[in-house]
């Protein structure tokens, strides 16, 4: 199998581990910077030019698309899809998961537990909006934020109103969520591959920090998920159409509450916390996708 790993940085832990795992299983792995791909659109002959050469002969791709380059990254993934190359994460699912509001609407419709969430396009009803999620304290999130950036804890209604009005004045789109006090600055990250939770960790925010992201100085440790937590993670990934996903949840008195579903979850934290070969699971899943395609093509022939 010849697999392309779409990543902007070959030296990143996740990228290196995917290359290692692919090569250990006898595959050829090539790292491609998706921002340097030129897309050629022609009737019946979609193509991709990279470093002056046409990309050909790939059986599958594993997208590692950063949130800041979602638009172009997904365009590249779509081009591979048009070229009949299997992708471990399809373009539409990436787009769906990156839009926090859209993804939460989908999760809500699917019956996934989540914190009470409110969204508005204007600030005249800010006090009512705060009350709709249970009152202060509340969490205010930028729809385009990632890795804990653009997330604010407003401890009073007055502070919440000031932050919301400031974001609205900047034309920034936000959601307001209830604050789950019993989580105590910790959350769960379930790593889902092909409809199975292959690893899970509990992330704890550093002292005085309500965000548990590892990029914000949090720490991760191995955890065994309850049956309800596993079910919530699997349902969340399935409802967004993600074969690979990092599902972030809070533990609450009313059960697991899904915060976010990440379509490009990092491997470093989860592998170090669990000691498991998560990268190998991703490669195994990619193998299954290519084998399924070959089987389908053979039947058509």
Q: What residues form DSSP beta bridges with 47?
A: 40
Residues 137, 11 share a domain? no
Rounded average pLDDT over 229-240: 98
Residue 61 lies in a domain: yes
Rounded average pLDDT over 228-234: 98
Residue 287 lies in a domain: no
- Band of residue 146 on the pLDDT scale cut at 50, 70, 90: low
What's the pLDDT at 210? 55
Nearest alpha carbon to residue 75 among 63, 57, 88, 86:
63
Residue 158 lies in a domain: yes
Contact 143, 260 (CB under 8 A): no
Q: Is the pLDDT of residue 111 over 70?
A: yes
> For residue 69, what is the domain's CATH number?
3.40.50.20
Domain assignment of residue 47, given as a range = 2-88
Identify which has the larger pLDDT, 144 or 160: 160
What's the pLDDT at 206? 65
**78-87, 144-153, 171-180, 238-247: segment of lowest average pLDDT:** 144-153
Residues 136, 53 share a domain? no
Residues 107, 19 share a domain? no
Q: Is 3 exposed, middle or buried (0-12, 13-18, 19+ CB in 10 A)?
A: buried
Which of 148, 164, 179 terminates a domain? The answer is 179
Return phi, psi of residue 249, to 5°. Answer: -135, 155
Residue 214 lies in a domain: yes
Tens of pLDDT, residue by residue over 71-108, are 999 999 999 999 999 999 999 999 999 988 899 999 99
Report which DSSP code applies to 12.
Answer: S
Residue 169 lies in a domain: yes
Residues 12, 82 share a domain? yes
E runs forming strands in 57-195: 60-63, 86-87, 117-118, 138-142, 151-154, 174-178, 186-193
Nearest alpha carbon to residue 283 among 77, 59, 11, 25:
25
| Measured distance CA(203)–CA(186) in Å, rounded | 5
Which of 131, 158, 179 terminates a domain? The answer is 179
Residues 223, 166 share a domain? no
Residues 143, 14 share a domain? no
Tens of pLDDT, residue by residue over 29-43, are 999 999 999 999 988
What's the pLDDT at 173? 85
Which of 131, 146, 179 terminates a domain? The answer is 179
Residues 25, 73 share a domain? yes
Domain count for the chain: 3
Residue 284 lies in a domain: no
Contact 278, 136 (CB under 8 A): no
- Band of residue 211 on the pLDDT scale cut at 50, 70, 90: low
> Alpha carbon 14 to chain centroid distance?
14
Residue 279 lies in a domain: no
Residues 245, 190 share a domain? yes
| Measured distance CA(113)–CA(107) in Å, rounded | 8
Predicted TM-score (pTM) of this structure: 0.89
What's the pLDDT at 147? 55
What's the pLDDT at 219? 67
What's the pLDDT at 187? 92
What's the pLDDT at 112? 97
Residues 173, 186 share a domain? no
Residues 106, 187 share a domain? yes
> For residue 136, what is the domain's CATH number?
3.30.1490.20
Residues 109, 241 share a domain? yes
Residue 138 lies in a domain: yes
Contact 197, 234 (CB under 8 A): yes
> For residue 221, what is the domain's CATH number?
3.30.470.20
Residues 107, 62 share a domain? no
């Amino acid at each position: 199998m010849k697999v392309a790993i779409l990543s902007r940085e070959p030296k990143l832990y996740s990228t290196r581990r995917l290359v290692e795992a692919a090569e250990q299983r006898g595959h050829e792995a090539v790292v491609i910077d998706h921002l340097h791909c030129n897309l050629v659109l022609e009737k019946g002959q979609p193509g991709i030019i990279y470093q002056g050469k046409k990309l050909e002969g790939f059986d599958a791709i594993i997208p590692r698309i950063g949130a800041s380059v979602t638009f172009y990254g997904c365009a590249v993934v779509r081009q591979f899809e048009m070229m009949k190359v299997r992708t471990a994460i399809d373009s539409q699912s990436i787009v769906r998961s990156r839009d926090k509001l859209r993804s939460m609407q989908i999760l809500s419709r699917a019956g996934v537990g989540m914190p009470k969430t409110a969204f508005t396009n204007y600030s005249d009803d800010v006090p009512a909006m705060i009350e709709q999620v249970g009152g202060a304290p509340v969490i205010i999130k930028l729809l385009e934020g990632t890795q804990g950036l653009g997330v604010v804890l407003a401890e009073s209604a007055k502070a919440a109103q000031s932050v919301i009005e400031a974001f609205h004045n900047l034309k920034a789109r936000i959601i307001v969520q209830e604050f789950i006090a019993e989580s105590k600055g910790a959350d769960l990250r379930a790593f889902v591959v092909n409809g199975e939770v292959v690893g899970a960790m509990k992330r704890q925010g550093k002292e005085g920090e309500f965000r548990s992201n590892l990029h914000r100085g949090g720490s991760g440790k191995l955890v065994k998920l309850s049956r309800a937590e596993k079910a919530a993670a699997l349902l969340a990934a399935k409802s967004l159409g993600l074969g690979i996903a990092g599902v972030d949840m809070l533990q609450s008195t009313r059960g697991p509450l899904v915060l976010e579903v990440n379509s490009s979850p990092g491997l470093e934290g989860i592998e170090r916390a669990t000691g498991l070969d998560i990268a190998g699971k991703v490669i195994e899943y990619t193998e299954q996708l290519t084998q399924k395609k070959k089987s389908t093509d053979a039947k058509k022939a």
